[in-house]
């Protein structure tokens, strides 16, 4: 008898929960991510952005390297400043079927030609003039300088993965990047496949 009562109570609870869920058909009725957590201060945004940039591996491609006892590491003086405008790359031989990375891991050769990691510092040669909307367009739609109608970002920039970040996380990354020391470094334009 007790099992029967428990079973009826369980079924009643499930039916009640389902009927309540069906009543909430408008997405706007659900709390948003922003409502679920308190607003972050500027310092907290920057700290969160630093964390996301670190775990997202942004320094792997966007920071020139220095040699350390543990191997190459991001150069703290040029963090996220992109491919060094003065770095001359050696000639590339037959790379058919291969993707090649420069020693600094800031230049790449593949079927798309030669591409260079962008300067993400708040200098005018980087993202100094960018708005958050530009940043969001670059990260969500893969558009150069975050401008609608511009060319697509080139490999190996994995914007197709980063486009899934929440607006809150994108905002944190943007605030972190804007807090960096500006580094004047005009990254070269990409080279099309036939010329590379």
Mean pLDDT computed over 133-147: 97
Mean pLDDT computed over 135-157: 97
Q: Give domain limits for the chain.
A: 40-195
User: Half-sphere exposure of 75 toward its Cβ, with a 13 Å CA cutoff?
Assistant: 19
Question: Tell me, what's the pLDDT at 37?
Answer: 56
The larger pLDDT score, comparing residue 10 to residue 143, is at 143
For the sheet with 100-101, list strands across it: 100-101, 107-110, 113-116
Question: Tell me, what's the pLDDT at 196?
Answer: 46
pLDDT in tens, 68-126: 999 999 999 999 999 999 999 888 877 777 899 998 999 999 999 999 999 999 999 99
What percent of the chain stands above pLDDT 90?
69
Mean pLDDT computed over 7-30: 45
Question: Tell me, what's the pLDDT at 96?
Answer: 74
- Is residue 22 predicted with pLDDT exceeding 80? no
pTM of the model: 0.78
CA distance 148 to 144: 8
Mean pLDDT computed over 42-57: 96
Least confident of 22-26, 83-87, 162-166, 183-187: 22-26
Write out the DSSP string of the chain: -HHHHHHHHHHHHHHHHHHHHHH---GGGSPPHHHHSPPPPHHHHHHHHHHHHHHTTHHHHHS-EEEETTEEEE-GGGTT--S-TTPPPPPP---TT--EE-TTS-EEEETTEEEEPPP-SSSTTTTTT--HHHHHHHHHH-BGGG-TTSPBPPTT--HHHHTTS-HHHHHHHHHHHHHSPP----PPPPB-GGG-
């Amino acid at each position: 008898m007790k099992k029967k009562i428990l079973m009826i109570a369980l079924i009643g609870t499930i039916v009640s929960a389902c009927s309540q869920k069906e009543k909430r058909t408008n997405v706007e009725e659900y709390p948003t991510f922003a409502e679920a957590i308190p607003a972050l201060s500027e310092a907290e945004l920057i700290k969160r952005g630093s964390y996301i940039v670190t775990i997202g591996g942004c320094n792997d491609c966007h920071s020139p390297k220095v040699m350390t006892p543990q191997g190459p590491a991001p150069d703290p003086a040029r963090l996220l400043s992109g491919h060094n405008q003065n770095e001359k790359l050696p000639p590339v031989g037959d790379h058919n079927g291969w993707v090649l990375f420069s020693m600094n891991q800031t230049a790449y050769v593949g079927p798309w030609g030669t591409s260079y990691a962008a300067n993400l510092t708040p200098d005018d040669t980087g993202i100094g003039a960018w708005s958050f909307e530009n940043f969001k367009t670059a990260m969500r739609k893969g558009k150069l300088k975050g401008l609608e109608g511009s060319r697509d970002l080139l490999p190996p920039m994995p914007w197709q993965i980063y486009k899934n970040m929440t607006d809150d996380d994108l905002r944190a990354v943007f605030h972190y990047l804007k807090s960096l020391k500006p580094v004047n470094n005009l990254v070269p334009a990409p080279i099309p496949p036939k010329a590379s």
